[in-house]
Amino acid sequence: MIIAFDAKRAFFNNTGLGNYSRNTLNQLFTYYPEHQYWLYSPSKQFKHKIKLPSTAKVITPNSWIGKLFPSYWRSLLINGQLINDKPQLYHGLSNELPFGILATKVKTVVTIHDLIFKRYPEWYKPIDVKIYDRKFSYAAKHADIVIAVSQQTAQDIISFYKVASEKIKVLYQSCNPLFFNLLDNKKIDEIKQHYLLPEQYLLYVGTIEERKNLHRLIEAIHIAKVTIPLVVVGRKTEYYERKVKPLIEKYQLQQRIFHFENIENSHLPAFYQGATLFIYPSLFE
């Protein structure tokens, strides 16, 4: 079978959607080598390199319009290439399918990760809520199969978009095998020294955005008079400047909070295993 994928996140996203896409592709390459895998990407200027087997190839826009407007290509123009390429299946790995994909006659699967923007629109820009809603609803209603990564997401898809439960399959996200093995103390110490981590620390990992709730963690550290340093791994957003940074300065925690972005995936297991405590204060996932 020839399986096509929207591979943008796999090549260009450093966080959850990118990790899901890369893990899914790598597992398919490993356990189902009999299939062909066509990875549709807006360009080959990858931020993440994926080791491709001989059965996989990358496909990019075949027109100057697609190259010039990659988002337009990914959302619509790609249909022309799918009609010519004739894959048996197209999988939208990150919540969306090209508009008008029904015209290609290709069977479709979409993975919906969450509908948080429907439950908590106040955490998003109004324009983003409208864009997400249009893309997610189209994908959920028109896909042949919808993969939900949790029972909660499945229920939200049914509730918000009135999609029949029969076409929704709950498949939990996988975990990178890097995290399966315990590291020895020497390796953990090497990573700690490389990043100048404190001997003991609390650990937070995740994009620094409203729903991840980092500001309340900092409030709790202050109220409880916790003296163990906090290590934060994640990309800053405007929420950091608006809510997190002012608290750090207010409580004079600059010397006890360590922030890192774009940590190599291979180094993250040592961050987790070297921590005194891992804290995940997210309000909703």
> Could you report the per-residue pLDDT of 163-215, keeping only the tens digit for each?
999 999 999 998 888 899 999 999 999 999 999 999 999 999 999 999 999 99
> Could you report the per-residue pLDDT of 50-88, keeping only the tens digit for each?
899 999 999 999 999 999 999 999 999 999 999 999 999
> Quick one: tokens of 134?
């249009």
Query: Mapped to the 3 state alphabet, what secondary structure does 229-268 carry?
Result: CEEEECCECHHHHHHHHHHHHHCCCCCCEEEECCCCHHHH
Q: How confident is the model at residue 15, as a pLDDT?
A: 81
Share of the chain above pLDDT 90, in %: 92
271, pLDDT greater than 90: yes
Long-range pairs for 167-175: beta carbons < 8 A, 24 or more residues apart: 167/143, 169/145, 171/147, 173/20, 173/23, 173/149, 174/20, 174/23, 174/24, 174/27, 175/23
| CA pair distance 233, 207, nearest whole angstrom | 8
Mean confidence (pLDDT) of the chain: 95
Domains of the chain with bracketed CATH = 2-170 (3.40.50.2000), 183-278 (3.40.50.2000)
Q: Whole-prediction pTM value?
A: 0.87
Give the pairing of strands 107-112 and 202-205.
Answer: unpaired
- Collect all residues with Cβ–Cβ distance below 8 Å to 4 and sequence separation of at least 6: 38, 39, 40, 59, 82, 85, 87, 89, 90, 91, 106
> Quick one: tokens of 270?
């040592």
Say which residue the tokens 């790995």 belong to. 93
Q: How confident is the model at residue 265, as a pLDDT?
A: 86
One-letter amino acid for residue 7 of the chain: A
Q: How confident is the model at residue 16, as a pLDDT?
A: 85
47, pLDDT greater than 90: no
Q: How confident is the model at residue 167, as a pLDDT?
A: 97
> Quick one: tokens of 171?
């498949």
Q: How confident is the model at residue 226, as a pLDDT?
A: 96
117, pLDDT greater than 90: yes
| CA pair distance 131, 103, nearest whole angstrom | 22
Average the pLDDT over 133-139 and give the result: 98
Q: Is the dihedral of CA 50, 56, 61, 63 positive or negative?
A: positive
> Could you report the per-residue pLDDT of 2-25, keeping only the tens digit for each?
999 999 999 998 888 999 999 999
How far lies 149's CA from each of 18, 24, 25, 113, 146, in Å?
14, 12, 16, 6, 10
Q: How confident is the model at residue 90, as a pLDDT?
A: 98
Share of the chain above pLDDT 70, in %: 100
Per-residue pLDDT band at 106 (split at 50, 70, 90): very high
